[in-house]
Chains A and B, each alone.
Chain A
Amino acid sequence: MKNMKLKIARMEKNLSQIQLAKMTGVTRQTIGMIEAGDFNPSLKLCIAICRALDKTLDQLFWEEDDL
């Protein structure tokens, strides 16, 4: 399932995938794959992404039942 919340949060911060990748210590492809729902990041990486985007885990990674 695509993670649109992450993509939107990144765009709100005017960050490119490369910039977010550098901030979190991963590659651009990894960020792309997380946004596309093709890779499940570890909790450690989720927290790093949340910190970089000033969001909480709930805001970026919690999936509602009706989604």
Chain B
Amino acid sequence: MNKKFYDERQQQDADRNGRKAFEGTFFVLAAVIIAQMILAQGDVRQVLGETIAILAGGGIYLGLTVKDGNLNRHTPRVMENLIISLSCGVFFALLFIVTMYLKTAGRTSLQVLGIWGAGCMVLFFVLGMAVLTILAKSAERRQKKMEEKYDE
């Protein structure tokens, strides 16, 4: 057995700790961005660094997950993607409405907020569905390639 820096138990521990650290960093960054945008009335430019970091980290994680063919534990279900996209749409629409209301110091009418909120929800819903569908298809293709490669 080759002598490595870590043995397999230590490697497993390191991998687990790395994953937890990434998840922690990801959610703290997301919380910091939201808090800065809403509570501190920040500008997008003020959270640009955090946004780039979270997008890069999330993108690399997703990309590697798709590459390994591990995105779908089971056959992708349209209903599951619909629920996730809808949840994201509602969450970001609410976030957008609250941010807009606070930024304009309550001067924006509820009707305008409602229209913008609905638009935001549709946008994120469509975006979510598109991303999830593309990722699911890519993962499916990757899984098929792996099956062909390791077929008896």
Question: In whole angstroms, how far apart are the Cα atoms of A67 and B9 in the complex?
Answer: 25
Q: Report B-chain residues with C-beta under 8 Å of the C-beta of A24.
A: 1
Tell yes or no: B80 within 8 A of A by CB: no
User: A48 to B8, Cβ gap below 8 A?
Assistant: no
Tell yes or no: A41 within 8 A of B by CB: yes
User: B9 to A26, Cβ gap below 8 A?
Assistant: yes
Q: Report A-chain residues with C-beta under 8 Å of the C-beta of B10.
A: 27, 30
Across the interface, A45 reaches (CB within 8 A) one of B2, B3, B4, B8, namely B8
User: A25 to B9, Cβ gap below 8 A?
Assistant: no
Tell yes or no: A33 within 8 A of B by CB: yes
User: B9 to A33, Cβ gap below 8 A?
Assistant: yes
CB proximity of A59 to chain B, nearest CB, Å: 20
Across the interface, A39 reaches (CB within 8 A) one of B1, B3, B4, B9, namely B9
Q: Which of A9-60 contact B (CB under 8 A)?
A: 24-27, 29-30, 33, 39, 41-42, 44-45, 48
Q: Report A-chain residues with C-beta under 8 Å of the C-beta of B8.
A: 26, 30, 41-42, 44-45
Q: Report A-chain residues with C-beta under 8 Å of the C-beta of B2.
A: 25
Find the residue from B2, B4, B7 having the highest chain A CB count within 10 A. B7
Q: Apart from A27-B7, A27-B9, what are 18 other A-B pairs with CB-CB below 8 Å?
A: A24-B1, A25-B1, A25-B2, A25-B3, A25-B4, A25-B7, A26-B1, A26-B7, A26-B9, A29-B9, A30-B8, A30-B10, A33-B9, A39-B9, A41-B8, A41-B9, A44-B1, A45-B1
- A-B pairs with beta carbons under 8 Å apart, 13 shown: A24-B1, A25-B1, A25-B2, A25-B3, A25-B4, A26-B1, A27-B9, A27-B10, A30-B7, A30-B9, A30-B10, A41-B8, A41-B9
